[in-house]
Structure 1
Amino acid sequence: MDIPGLPARRAALNLIDAVLRRGETLDQAAGAALARVRGDADRALTRAIAGEVLRWKADLDALIDSATRQRLPDDAKPRAVLELMLAQVLRLETPAHAVIATGLPLLTGGPRRLAHGVFSTLMKREVSLPEVPTLPEPVAERWGDRAPAIAAGLAAPPQLDLALRDPAQTAEWAAKLGGVSLMPGHVRLPRGTAVEHLEGFRDGAWWVQDLAASLPARLLGSGEGRRVLDLCAAPGGKTLQLAAAGWDVTALDISKRRLERLKENLKRTGLFAHVVQADAFKWEPETPFDAILLDAPCTATGTARRHPDVLHRIGPCQIAEMAELQAAMIERAAGWLKPGGALVYAVCSLEPEEGEAQARPVALDPAPVASGDLPEGLSPTPEGWLRTDPGMLTEAGGLDGFFIARWRKAD
C-alpha cells in the first residue's frame, strides 16, 4: 500500500522528467503523470511541486552541490528527488518530516542514504533560496539586459486574472469578488482561488485571462457588428472579448479539442461566434474581414510565471521554427483584410525573433499603440508596438510577457 502523499511526489518526479528529458510541456505530461493521483488537492500539489522545482532548479541544484563531495550527475535520480524535497520545504513550506516520509521512498539502497544525508545536512544549515530565481544560463544570455527584471517577476506563480463580459460592471465585480482592477474589464484575485465556485462563473459574467493576454483584442476596439477573424482562436479568451465588444467573430483554429473548450466558454457566457476548424494555410475566407487578430503560435516563453517548463525546453531551434511559421501567417492574414482593415499581431513570447523581428517587415501602414490603450504603468515602444514581460507591474502582481503590434491596410 502506498504511503499517503507518495503518489503525488512520484507523479511530480515524472512530470519533471517529461519536461527535462523529453521536452514535453507540463500540460502534455500531466495526463500520464497524474493518472494514479487521486483527488484534486493531491493533483494540485503534484503540479505545484513540479512547477517550483522547474522555477528554482538552478538554485536548488546549487544547494545540493554545496552538500556533496562529488557532484551528482545532472540526470541522477537522487538529484531529482532532492530537488523535489527541497522545493517542498523551501517553497511550499511542507514540514521536513513529511518531506522525508514521502521523498526517500522514491529511492532505494545507497541513493536513499545519500539523499537522506544531503537533505539532513542542508536542513541543519537552515539553507534558503534567493529572493529571485536564477535563470538557466542559455535563457539569461538570450534575454540579456532584461533577464534580471524578468527573473524577479518569475519568483512566484501569478495571481488569477479575470476578463469581464461587461467592462461597465468592473467596480461591481471587483467588490463582489474581493479583487482589484488594473483597467476596465479586468479583475485580479489571489492565486489559489477555486474558479468554478466564484460568483459569476456559471452565469458567464467573466472568464480567466491574463491581463497581458487581454490587450491584443482590446486594441481592436468596439466592433459595432463588423466582421473580425480570430486566427488561432482556441481556447477562446480573445474570441469572447471580441464578441462581447460587438464584433461578428469568426473563430478559426486547427485543433478540434481546443475548439470544444472554446464552444463551452461561448455557451457559458452566452456569446456567439462562427467557429471554424481548419488549417489556416489551407482555408480561405469567402470575403475579406474588417479586422484580424492573429495570436500566433509561439514558444510561449512569456508565460514562464505559470509554465516554468519553458525555461528548460525552449531553445534556438524552437524559436527559429516558430519565427518562420509566424512570418508566413502574418503574410497570409494581411491578404484577408478589407481596405482600411486592422491587423493585430500578438505572441506570448519574450523572444525578439518572434516579436520585433516579425513586425519590422510587415507591408501595412502602422497603427501605433497609444498609452491610453494600456493599463497604467505600461507604455508603447518608440515604434508604437507593445512589449510586456513578467518584470513589469510587479507591485500590482505582474503580467505575462507579450509582443503586440497593430497595422491598417491602405484604403
Structure 2
Amino acid sequence: MVDSREISSQVLSDIFYGKSFDRALLLNKEYSKLDQRDKSLVSLLVLTSLRRNGQIDNVLSHFIKKPLKKNFFIRYLLKISVAQILYLDFPEYSTVHNAVEISKKYKSEKFTNAILRNICKNKKKFIKEIPAIINIPDWIKKDLEKFLEAKDLLEIANQISLEPYIDINIKNENFNQYNWEKILKGKKVFENIIRIKNKSNIEDLPFFQDGKWWVQGISSSLPVFLIKKIFKKNSKNKTVLDVGSAPGGKSFQLIDFGFKVSSIEISKKRIATLNSNLERLKLNTKIINEDFLNIDFKEKFDCILIDAPCSGSGLMQKKPEMLVVKKDISSLVKKQKKMLLKAANLVKDGGYIIYCVCSMLSAEGENQIISFLNNQKCFSSKNHFTDILEFGEVLKSNTFLVTPNSFQKKGGVDGFFIGCLIKNPN
C-alpha cells in the first residue's frame, strides 16, 4: 500500500494544478484504500500545508534556488514534510526518514535528506521569524489592506492557519429538549448554534439521523437571523425566495422560523443534496431547479435572499486551496450584479433584498451594493446589524463585513459580507 504521506503529496500536487481539495481526494485511487485514521492524516497534512503555504515556500526558498523541473513531485513531498516538522510538531526523525524513503522512487533521497535535515536544525528560527501574514495571497491581501489595519490582517492570517471548528444549528423545536452542549461535547456560541471540534464522521454524532440539526457556520446563519429580526412581527405570512439555496442551511433556518420559502438552485447535483437534507430534517420547501437569471416568476416576494456565487475568499480557513490558486473574479462580479438587478424586479414594495457572499473582497461586497444603489434609486441600504456586532463591523455603506478574526476568542468565523436593501414604496 502507498504511504499516506506520499498520497498527501499527490493530493497536494493535484490541488496546485487546479483541483479542489475534495475532488483531489475523490480522484486519488490510493486514498480510497486507506482506513479512516490514515484518511484523517492525509487531510491534516494537506490542509496544514495549504494553510501554511506562504511560510513553507519561504522556508524552502532558503535551500532551493531553482525550480525542480524533473522531479516536481519532490517539492510537494517537501511541503508536506515541512508542515509536519514546523507546524504539526511531528517527530523529526520519522518525518525525515519517511520522506527520504518515498523520495528514493524519484532518485532524490540525498537532496530530500539534506534539505529536511537543515530545516530541522533551524526549526526554532523559522517558526519565530517567518510571519503567518505571508500565507494570505496578494490578490486577497491587497484588497483587504484598503480597509483593514496591519494588526487585523495578522490576526486573520493567524486565524486561518488553525483547524476550523464545526458549527451545528439545532432545530427550534428540539433546542430546549436536551443539553446539547453535553450531548455534542461543544459550546453554545450563538442562538441555537453549538460549536464543536472538527470531526471526521459528522453522520455518527447524536441525533444526526433523527434530523434534529444540521451543520452551518455562524457567518452563514447571520443573513437569516437578520431576516427574522426584520420580519419579527409576522414571519408566518412572509414569502422568502432563497437564491442559490443548496445545500440548504439558510432554507432550513427560514423554514424553521416559519417563513413561506421557495428555494431556487441551478445545479441538479446540488438539488439532490438539498432534497436529501430536507428529507433527513423532515422539512419542506418549494424547490425550483432553474437558473435564477432566466426564470420568469409570476409572483413577487417579501424578501429575496441572494447567496451569490463568489470567490469564496472568506473561506480561506475551511477551503485553503484558494490560498494557492488565484481566481479571476470578473465573471463572478458580473453575475452578482445581474442577480441583484433581477431581484430588484421581484421584491415587493417595502420588501427586502438580503445580499450575501462568503467573500471579503470589496468588488464582490460593498462595491456591488454601492453600484446597485446608484442605479436603483427606489432602494436604500439599512443597518439592521446592532445584534451581531460581535461578528464584524458596519461599513460606510450601511453594510456588514465579517472577517475571520472576528469572534476570535471563541474560535473565529468565516469571512462574510451582508447587505440589507429595502425597496421603498413609490
TM-score normalised according to structure 1 size: 0.90
Partner of residue 247, structure 1: 259
Distance 1:296 1:137 in 2: 23
Question: Residue 40 of structure 2 contacts residue 200 of structure 2 at CA under 8 Å; is this kept in 1?
Answer: no
Matches within 5 A, 1:9-408: 9-21=5-17, 23-33=18-28, 36-37=31-32, 38-68=34-64, 70-73=65-68, 76-107=72-103, 108=105, 110-127=107-124, 128-129=126-127, 130=130, 132=132, 134=134, 135-144=136-145, 146=148, 147-166=153-172, 169=175, 172-192=179-199, 194-221=201-228, 222=232, 223-315=235-327, 318-362=328-372, 363=376, 364-374=378-388, 376=390, 378-408=392-422
- SS of 1:360's partner is helix
Q: CA deviation at 1:200?
A: 2.5
Q: CA deviation at 1:239?
A: 0.8
- SS of 1:361's partner is helix
Aligned length: 403
Give the alignment's Cα RMSD to 1 decimal.
2.4
Question: Which amino acid counterpart does residue 334 of structure 1 have in structure 2?
Answer: A
For residues 280-338 of structure 1, the C-alpha deviation after alignment (integer angstroms, 9 at most, x for no partner) is 122122311111110000010100001111112234xx221211110011111221112
Distance 1:323 1:150 in 2: 24
For residues 41-67 of structure 1, the C-alpha deviation after alignment (integer angstroms, 9 at most, x for no partner) is 222222221111111112112222324
Question: Which amino acid counterpart does residue 88 of structure 1 have in structure 2?
Answer: Q
For residues 99-143 of structure 1, the C-alpha deviation after alignment (integer angstroms, 9 at most, x for no partner) is 345433443354221011111222233345357352234433232
- SS of 1:141's partner is helix
Comparing 343-352 with 99-108, greater Cα deviation is found at 99-108
Question: Residue 13 of structure 1 contacts residue 80 of structure 1 at CA under 8 Å; is this kept in 2?
Answer: yes
Question: Residue 86 of structure 2 contacts residue 123 of structure 2 at CA under 8 Å; is this kept in 1?
Answer: no
Question: Residue 314 of structure 2 contacts residue 403 of structure 2 at CA under 8 Å; is this kept in 1?
Answer: yes
Question: Which amino acid counterpart does residue 7 of structure 2 have in structure 1?
Answer: A
Comparing 77-86 with 397-406, greater Cα deviation is found at 77-86
Comparing 331-340 with 101-110, greater Cα deviation is found at 101-110
For residues 330-361 of structure 1, the C-alpha deviation after alignment (integer angstroms, 9 at most, x for no partner) is 11122111222211000001110000111113
Q: CA deviation at 1:97?
A: 4.0
Question: Residue 166 of structure 1 contacts residue 205 of structure 1 at CA under 8 Å; is this kept in 2?
Answer: no
Q: Structure 1 regions of 5+ residues with no counterpart?
A: none
Q: CA deviation at 1:193?
A: 6.4
Distance 1:241 1:56 in 2: 34
Distance 2:273 2:94 in 1: 38
Alignment CA distance shift 1:167-1:326 (3 Å) = farther
Question: Which amino acid counterpart does residue 54 of structure 2 have in structure 1?
Answer: A
Distance 2:259 2:88 in 1: 44
Distance 2:393 2:173 in 1: 22
Alignment CA distance shift 1:111-1:291 (3 Å) = same
Q: CA deviation at 1:225?
A: 3.6
Alignment CA distance shift 1:198-1:250 (3 Å) = same
Comparing 170-179 with 120-129, greater Cα deviation is found at 170-179
Distance 1:98 1:335 in 2: 63
Question: Which amino acid counterpart does residue 115 of structure 2 have in structure 1?
Answer: V
Alignment CA distance shift 1:371-1:333 (3 Å) = closer
Question: Which amino acid counterpart does residue 154 of structure 1 have in structure 2?
Answer: I
Q: CA deviation at 1:189?
A: 1.2
Alignment CA distance shift 1:106-1:325 (3 Å) = farther
Alignment CA distance shift 1:225-1:164 (3 Å) = farther
Question: Which amino acid counterpart does residue 288 of structure 2 have in structure 1?
Answer: V
Alignment CA distance shift 1:209-1:131 (3 Å) = farther
Alignment CA distance shift 1:377-1:248 (3 Å) = closer
Question: Residue 55 of structure 1 contacts residue 133 of structure 1 at CA under 8 Å; is this kept in 2?
Answer: no
Alignment CA distance shift 1:181-1:369 (3 Å) = farther
TM-score normalised according to structure 2 size: 0.87
Q: CA deviation at 1:156?
A: 0.3
Share of identical aligned residues, percent? 25
Question: Residue 231 of structure 1 contacts residue 295 of structure 1 at CA under 8 Å; is this kept in 2?
Answer: yes
